[in-house]
Amino acid sequence: QSETALCGTPTADHLGQIASLVVDYLQTGHSDGDSQTFLEDNLLSNELQTYLRVAQLIDQTDLSNPNAAAEVATLAEAMGQLLDLPAWQLHRLRLAGLLYRIALLRTTDTVLAPGASTRYQDESASVPLTCSLLPGIQVLRRMQRLRAIATILTHQSEWWNGTGQPAGLVGDEIPVESRILGLVIHFQQQLAALRNANPSNSPSPNDLAQVFSNCRSQQGDRWDPKLIEALGLLVTAMQQGLSLPVALPKIASGLWMLDPTEEMILAYQENLTPHA
């Protein structure tokens, strides 16, 4: 029988032959650099899709805000474009927005004792962290290519004046992606609360103005004043009819949101960033 026929009708009569074909394939894959890279990319893509699917399911269980991650990702990317961030940072912002719900998980198994402030390290960590990490952040850090995203999500709760958590970073010490993400998460949550109080297909200009006013009242303390200015431009555009399309990612055919260059940039940035 042909190899295709064997694999198409796997019965006990020729399982040995099928196993031999699989072993040959794996051995060939290890010896062929291109094939091995293709296999690793497929595995990486599947793992990333799993994380995104989990984040989507978390959203769907929150009936009061079922599209939070997708809306946050869209707002964050729009903010990044207003600030003229390069493409690699826009990709990181979008992916961080899509995964932020996972990062906030507090009930997953963790190697850290609840409430304890310990050093989180693993064998492949490039920089030891000395601030407590939420269990969801730890889950993301297990995937090497999501280290940059985990760092962004770790520091999205920092305050511009240095009184935030977990590391007490101040001003420009906070990664710009973290500053953007923290602001748009707050903005989206406030907007969703108003939307639930007065259900409609889209937020009204008054709703947008009310939520923006709330954010602006905390500029210089919680939020970066430059980001408040950019958010103001975005809100004005939305009040005048700008529509931001919200769509879930389709990454089955590629890893467009992960760029190896980002890892080198992150490693450099982490060496410059003080850790609490």
Rounded Cα–Cα distance for residues 133 and 139 (Å): 10
CATH code, 99: 1.10.3210.10
How is residue 9 annotated by DSSP?
A: S
For residues 114 and 130, membership in a common domain is answered with: yes
**Residue found by looking up tokens 């939520």 in the block:** 211
When pLDDT is averaged across residues 105-131 and rounded to a whole number, the result is 42
For residues 132 and 14, membership in a common domain is answered with: no
C-alpha distances in angstroms, 133 versus 108, 130, 186? 12, 9, 20
| Alpha helices in the chain, H assignment, sequence order | 3-8, 15-31, 33-61, 68-82, 87-103, 135-141, 147-154, 176-197, 205-216, 225-239, 260-272
Expressed as residue numbers, the domain containing 23 is: 1-31
Q: Which residues pair with 223 in a beta bridge?
A: 219
For residues 188 and 256, membership in a common domain is answered with: yes
For residues 8 and 135, membership in a common domain is answered with: no
Mean pLDDT for the chain? 77
For residues 21 and 93, membership in a common domain is answered with: no
For residues 23 and 77, membership in a common domain is answered with: no
For residues 15 and 80, membership in a common domain is answered with: no
Is the omega angle on the peptide bond into residue 135 within 30 degrees of 0, that is, cis?
no
For residues 17 and 38, membership in a common domain is answered with: no
83 three-class SS: coil
For residues 168 and 38, membership in a common domain is answered with: yes
Residue 274 pLDDT > 50: no
Rounded Cα–Cα distance for residues 213 and 77 (Å): 21
For residues 142 and 238, membership in a common domain is answered with: yes
What tokens were used for 217?
């009242």
Model confidence at 40, pLDDT cuts 50, 70, 90, reads low
Write out pLDDT tens, residues 60-77: 899 999 999 999 999 999
Residue 18 pLDDT > 50: yes
The pTM of the full predicted model, rounded to 2 decimals, is: 0.71
Model confidence at 231, pLDDT cuts 50, 70, 90, reads very high
Domain count, the chain: 2
User: Residues with Cβ < 8 Å from 261, sequence gap 6 or more?
Assistant: 88
Task: List the one residue out of 204, 230, 245, 227 whose CA is nearest residue 94.
Answer: 245
For residues 27 and 156, membership in a common domain is answered with: no
**What is the share, in percent, of the chain residues with pLDDT greater than 70?**
63
Write out pLDDT tens, residues 153-191: 999 999 999 999 999 999 999 999 999 999 999 999 999
Greater confidence (120 vs 140) lies with 140
For residues 210 and 251, membership in a common domain is answered with: yes
